[in-house]
């Protein structure tokens, strides 16, 4: 049983040691809880559980910690993929809901499994998700001050391998901040979140770069074709270099190999195999 999570990029880590430590401590706590949860639950349920905890933390750019778009609204995107069934589900630009990853989980049972905007919101309300305002005082202050958000590229995600050998992956984001309203990121696409029986990958970084590189699906496909997870990541990241793609990934292969890499520092992540690891 293995689990790895990420909390996006944190370029402030070189100067804000207090925030860096807070994020490391939060990741350590969440991945420990997720590993304990995995002992008696499936990989699919575990990645939803872990990402919902990340969405509930103001430290990360997802759920309650999300960035505000240029029109003053928060729109959330999240997706989920079950490596066993090969089903993918997601929500794009969902407003006023606390945990978009839980909505994505409910959508797995439907034929129409990726919803956006008003349709995603209507589905959420019909399935028990009440109104929730994710804007925190800190995010509101940042928005009003028009802080430079170009150094706040972030997402959260989780990949898990359960006792039965099944892999699942979940990814959630609050966007990049001050973007054109309803901009679509990679997080609710197979470029940013993909799994099959051979591997699972969750991405973070600049959504447009990740989509251009078809990153998550490409890495998983290479593992399926016989690459090691590390080699698949390194080959795929080399293909981001011509356009200076900004990305980071976490992944687990069906053989138990666990790996992470990024094109620019610092991605924050934590894993739990036989012991806890927390790094930036």
pLDDT of 22-76, one tens digit each?
888 999 999 999 999 999 999 999 999 999 999 999 999 999 989 888 888 999 9
* Tens digit of each residue's pLDDT (9 = 90 or more) over 97-126: 999 999 999 999 999 999 999 999 999 999
Average of per-residue pLDDT across 208-216: 96
Residues 90, 80 contacting (CB under 8 angstroms): yes
Count of domains forming the chain: 1
pTM (2 d.p.) = 0.89
Domain residue limits at 56? 2-279
Residues 235, 196 contacting (CB under 8 angstroms): no
* Residues designated as active site: 155
- For 123-187, the DSSP string reads HHHHTT--------HHHHHHHHHT--GGG----EEEEEE-TTS-EEEEEEE--SSSPPTT---ST
Q: Assess whether pLDDT exceeds 90 at residue 176.
A: no
CATH of the domain at 41: 3.60.20.30
Average of per-residue pLDDT across 140-152: 61
């Amino acid at each position: 049983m293995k689990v790895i999570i990420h909390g996006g990029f944190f370029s402030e880590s070189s100067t804000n040691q207090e925030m860096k430590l807070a994020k490391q401590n939060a990741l350590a706590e969440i991945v420990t809880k997720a590993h304990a949860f995995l002992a008696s639950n499936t990989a699919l349920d575990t990645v939803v559980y872990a990402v919902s905890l990340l969405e509930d933390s103001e430290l990360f750019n997802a759920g309650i910690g999300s960035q505000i778009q240029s029109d003053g609204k928060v729109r959330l995107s999240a997706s989920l993929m079950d490596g066993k069934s090969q089903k993918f589900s997601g929500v794009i630009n969902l407003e006023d809901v606390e945990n978009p990853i839980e909505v994505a989980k409910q959508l797995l049972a439907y034929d129409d499994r990726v919803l956006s905007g008003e349709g995603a919101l209507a589905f959420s309300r019909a399935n028990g998700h009440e109104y929730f305002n994710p804007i925190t005082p800190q995010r509101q202050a940042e928005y009003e001050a028009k802080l430079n958000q170009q150094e706040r590229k972030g997402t959260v995600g989780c990949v898990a391998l359960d006792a039965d050998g099944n892999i699942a992956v979940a990814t959630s984001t609050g966007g990049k901040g001050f973007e054109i309203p309803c901009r679509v990121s990679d997080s609710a696409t197979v470029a940013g979140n993909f799994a099959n029986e051979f591997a699972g990958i969750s991405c973070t970084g600049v959504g447009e770069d990740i989509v251009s590189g078809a990153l998550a699906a490409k890495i998983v496909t290479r593992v399926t074709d016989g690459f090691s997870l590390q080699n698949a990541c390194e080959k795929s990241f080399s293909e981001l270099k011509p356009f200076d793609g900004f990305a980071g990934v976490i992944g687990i292969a069906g053989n138990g190999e666990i790996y992470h890499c990024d094109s620019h520092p610092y991605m924050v992540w934590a894993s739990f195999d036989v012991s806890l690891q927390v790094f930036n």
